[in-house]
Amino acid sequence: MTRALLVGRYQPFHKGHMQVVKQVLSECDLLIIGIGSAQCSHTGDNPFTGGERLMMISEALSEEKIPLQRYIIVPLPDTNNNSLWVSQVRALCPPFDVVYTRNPLSKRLFEEAGISVREQPLFDRRRFSGTEIRRRMIAGESWEDLVPKGVERVIRTVDGVNRLKGVIGND
Ligand code: NAD
């Protein structure tokens, strides 16, 4: 049984992330979706709480009818000390065989800990990017097409666009 870990901040979870989830699911038995910087919220780069991001992912995967037994969502708070991060991730997640990430720091830290790392391909990164989606929300442009319907619903429920506009600069 292969277990894969996919780490991201998911601020917010978008259609590019969904394509990665589907691809990694085709290569493993169990997908562990780690919500990075889970303690962060209410800033321009991290507007949504760990719990809100968990709801976004769970709604989006359920909409795609991905069976619950194929994935686990685990909130992963940051550590002040990079050298301790992988140990904390390991302590919070079920055991995993491989990590999927394109984040250079995460990649290095997992490799130094002897864990095998794969880079997933990028899916239309110009549009499917958390930075671009947050930029559009602040500018009053349309962002809804870039996220799964369930994610749009969660963002509306928590008044996410107005929150983001109100917290710019709190980073
Ligand atoms: P992200 O949400 O930007 O991206 C999540 C993953 O999806 C990344 O691998 C990214 O490359 C990929 N992705 C994004 N858009 C995509 C697209 N269109 N197509 C395909 N793939 C796409 O998150 P991130 O910044 O990579 O998250 C890393 C997390 O790890 C952060 O929360 C960071 O704080 C945490 N971290 C913490 C420490 C520490 O606490 N010391 C150290 C290292 C990393």
Q: What is the DSSP letter of 145?
A: G
Report pLDDT digits (tens) over 72-85: 999 999 999 999 99
Q: According to the model, what pLDDT value does residue 72 have?
A: 98
CA–CA separation, 160 and 119 (whole Å): 30
- In this predicted structure, the answer to whether residue 69 has a pLDDT above a threshold of 80 is yes
What is the CA(34)–ligand 1 centre distance, in A?
10
Let me know: does 39 contact 46? Beta carbons within 8 Å.
no
Q: According to the model, what pLDDT value does residue 117 have?
A: 98
Domain ranges of the chain: 3-167
- State which fold the 3-167 domain adopts: Rossmann fold (3.40.50)
Q: How confident is the model at residue 170 (pLDDT cuts 50, 70, 90)?
A: confident
Report pLDDT digits (tens) over 139-166: 999 999 999 999 999 999 999 999 999 9
Let me know: does 147 contact 13? Beta carbons within 8 Å.
yes
The finding on whether 45 has its CB within 6 A of some atom of ligand 1 is: no
To the nearest whole percent, how much of the chain has pLDDT over 90? 96
What is the CA(103)–ligand 1 centre distance, in A?
5
The finding on whether 50 has its CB within 6 A of some atom of ligand 1 is: no
Q: How confident is the model at residue 87 (pLDDT cuts 50, 70, 90)?
A: very high
Q: According to the model, what pLDDT value does residue 171 have?
A: 77
The finding on whether 82 has its CB within 6 A of some atom of ligand 1 is: yes
Q: According to the model, what pLDDT value does residue 82 have?
A: 98
Average pLDDT, the chain: 97
What is the CA(122)–ligand 1 centre distance, in A?
12
- In this predicted structure, the answer to whether residue 47 has a pLDDT above a threshold of 90 is yes
Q: What is the DSSP letter of 123?
A: S
Beta strands 30-36; 71-76: pairing state: parallel
Question: Tokens for 73?
Answer: 């969502």
CA–CA separation, 18 and 36 (whole Å): 16
CA–CA separation, 108 and 24 (whole Å): 20
Q: How confident is the model at residue 36 (pLDDT cuts 50, 70, 90)?
A: very high
CA–CA separation, 10 and 114 (whole Å): 26
Report pLDDT digits (tens) over 94-124: 999 999 999 999 999 999 999 999 999 999 9
Q: Name 34's Cβ contacts closer than 8 Å, sequence gap at least 6.
A: 5, 6, 7, 8, 74, 75, 76, 89, 93
Distance from CA of residue 54 to its chain's centroid? 9
What is the CA(75)–ligand 1 centre distance, in A?
13
